[in-house]
Amino acid sequence: MRAVIALTSGGLFGLGLLISGMVDTNRVQGWLDIFGDWDPTLAFVLGGAIIPMFFAWRLADGGRTPRAGGMFPPRPNQKISPELAIGSLIFGAGWGLAGLCPGPSLASLTFGGWEGLLFLAAMIVGMLMAVPVKRMRASTT
């Protein structure tokens, strides 16, 4: 049952990315171009993610358990750590330069050509580098 729910959720997520235009790099870069030709349409995508999560966290705080079993994950830490700040800057730079983030980059594999593959490879290398870089930073402090 959990696999069916996961597959359905992933399919709905991908469909949402496609319908919302999050896989269109020009639209994403237009959203990020606040001092130029700004495209506000992705604000609705962000609202469509934030509003349901607001209610989901309220349900999780109420002591409920997921219907598919297991437990809800704990709330994220509210502290802004150096790792969070650095990771956010790297994510934002990649998102702004390429117009893709992890979810849409996977969706773009079906139509993105070699550029989509290059972005995905660079993203995976960056993710794999996170742990060694964190260890290196910890050993120097």
Nearest to 29 by CA among 71, 86, 92: 92
- Alpha-carbon distance of 116 to 118, in angstroms, equals 5
Q: Which two tokens stand for residue 9?
A: 């959720």
Q: What is the pLDDT of residue 9?
A: 87
Successive 10-residue mean pLDDT values, the chain, 141 residues: 86 84 84 87 85 84 75 80 87 84 80 81 88 85 69
Domain map of the chain by residue range?
1-76, 78-141
Q: What is the pLDDT of residue 74?
A: 77
Q: What is the pLDDT of residue 41?
A: 84
The pTM (predicted TM-score) of the whole model is 0.66
Q: What is the pLDDT of residue 8?
A: 93
